[in-house]
Amino acid sequence: TEDRAGQRDYDLLVIGGGSGGLACAKEAAQLGRKVAVVDYVEPSPQGTRWGLGGTCVNVGCIPKKLMHQAALLGGLIQDAPHYGWEVAQPVPHDWRKMAEAVQNHVKSLNWGHRVQLQDRKVKYFNIKASFVDEHTVCGVAKGGKEILLSADHIIIATGGRPRYPMHIEGALEYGITSDDIFWLKESPGKTLVVGASYVALECAGFLTGIGLDTTVMIRSIPLRGFDQQMSSMVIEHMASHGTRFLRGCAPSRVRRLPDGHLQVTWEDCTTGKEDTGTFDTVLWAIGRVPDTRSLNLEKAGVDTSPDTQKILVDSREGTSVPHIYAIGDVVEGRPELTPTAIMAGRLLVQRLFGGSSDLMDYDNVPTTVFTPLEYGCVGLSEEEAVARHGQEHVEVYHAHYKPLEFTVAGRDASQCYVKMVCLREPPQLVLGLHFLGPNAGEVTQGFALGIKCGASYAQVMRTVGIHPTCSEEVVKLRISKRSGLDPTVTGCG
């Protein structure tokens, strides 16, 4: 490998074949550049491994949404008799069948990504890469042969992996994470989910929904960083629909009993009292760590945060080394979301090779938590809005509503709720939208465009609703928290 400018192997080398990395590679190849992608999946402590595509495709959004859908179908089967369908209840669920179908779909996506790279003449290396110097990485191929690759520009897009609580006895030996749950051949059975992240709540939600006895252990606050009123309603809904919660508790050890079950010991953080329970599976969902440890970043001179080990970048995704960039979950202070990494990657490559100067805008990025009752949001939480603008400058419009589909089925809609956080001064710019209810992702995506375009409360109120839908509840928000009126169900439905 010659390491003089102009004689390097590639114009662009991308480390990490996930959402962000693949988007960069494809974009650069389309702009006529010589591109390579290196991707390597370190097997999980339980031995789970997967193909090209990154977290989202293999152990994240895709299998998660499909298993969430499986759980939602269970609820619809319960609704069906109310609508005249003669369905013998209860209907059993077969984990094996679901898992196989989900895993087959994921494998088809792995294959699709490989084909796309080939079609675009992007060279793909399935090796674990580490820096040799600021323009070169090395890795060991399957046969043990060392490969050196050099490039003018390097993009780091290695993402993150689930965190294990190493201080807890038995955590690593007997626990699993989101890296494993979607690839289990057999049902996880009675499950303890430890954590209060969206990963914890989504997994607990679909496990409960397919009929498994599921408990969530939360040490402090649920959905940290999300709007706390919405978060507590998400938990309320889950608790009233069969998920058990252990609040203010922290696990201290996990042991395997002679019968194969797992005995978990935990402590009540307020009283200090110890308690135990028996489970088939313990799932850790206590956060993620950036996949930077094996990259040898110091060899290239790339700076990371001493607290999080994430890579520090500027507004152009540039690291401390001029031609090395980083995007996605591996970067400090960025939303850990697939579409953010994809857009940031494309824009970066267009700046590098396409003459563009457009920067990624990380404000008003919409997202949805796929809990049994979905929570979609875009913009600021109520807490953030108050912290940023002051209580007296913030107006919050809100309403409880009942989806029409819930009426005939006799479903509980007490947590179906929407709120819009606005500036108080006319025209009352919308700062944030929070929607709890069915299809929250579909609802939030549409309104995200309006908020991105600087929509005001007045403009939202002049938008005609589509009747009868849940989305129309957003354009009917007449009651503000300040007015003190009861935000009861509105409309003719």
Query: What residues are paired with 162 via a beta bridge?
Result: 288
pLDDT-based confidence at residue 89 (cuts at 50, 70, 90):
confident
Confidence check: pLDDT of 53 > 50: yes
Confidence check: pLDDT of 1 > 50: no
Confidence check: pLDDT of 94 > 80: yes
Q: How does the average pLDDT of the chain come out, rounded?
A: 96
Least confident stretch, 139-143, 261-265, 404-408? 139-143
What CA–CA distance (Å, rounded) separates 346 from 356?
Answer: 11
Confidence check: pLDDT of 486 > 90: no
pLDDT digits (tens, 9 = 90+) for 329-365: 999 999 999 999 999 999 999 999 999 999 999 999 9
Task: State percent of the chain over pLDDT 90.
Answer: 95
Q: Which residues 6+ apart lie within 8 Å of 408 measured at CB?
A: 79, 82, 83
Confidence check: pLDDT of 467 > 50: yes
Q: Which residues sit in the known binding site for NAD(+)? A: 195-202, 287
**pTM listed for this prediction:** 0.97
Q: Which residues sit in the known binding site for FAD? A: 65, 329
Structure tokens at 400: 């409880």
| 339-373: burial string, b at 16+ Cβ within 10 Å, e else | bbbbbbbbbbbbbbbbeeeeebeeebbbbbbbbbb
Confidence check: pLDDT of 493 > 70: no
pLDDT digits (tens, 9 = 90+) for 190-212: 999 999 999 999 999 999 999 99
Known catalytic residues are 467
Q: What is the predicted pLDDT for the residue at 487?
A: 76
SS in 3 state form for the chain?
A: CCCCCCCCCEEEEEECCCHHHHHHHHHHHHCCCCEEEECCCCCCCCCCCCCCCHHHHHHCHHHHHHHHHHHHHHHHHHHHHHHCCCCCCCCCCCHHHHHHHHHHHHHHHHHHHHHHHHHCCCEEECCCCEEEECCEEEEECCCCCEEEEEEEEEEECCCEEECCCCCCECHHHHEECHHHHCCCCCCCCCEEEECCCHHHHHHHHHHHHCCCCEEEEECCCCCCCCCHHHHHHHHHHHHHCCCEEEECEEEEEEEECCCCCEEEEEEECCCCCEEEEEECEEEECCCEEECCHHHCHHHHCCCECCCCCCECCCCCCECCCCCEEECHHHECCCCCCHHHHHHHHHHHHHHHHCCCCCCCCCCCCCEEECCCCCEEEEECCHHHHHHHHCHHHEEEEEEECCCHHHHHHCCCCCCCEEEEEEECCCCCEEEEEEEECCCHHHHHHHHHHHHHCCCEHHHHHCCCCCCCCCHHHHHHCCCEHHHCCCCCCCCCC
pLDDT-based confidence at residue 491 (cuts at 50, 70, 90):
low
pLDDT-based confidence at residue 2 (cuts at 50, 70, 90):
very low
Q: Which residues sit in the known binding site? A: 65, 195-202, 287, 329
pLDDT digits (tens, 9 = 90+) for 232-260: 999 999 999 999 999 999 999 999 999 99
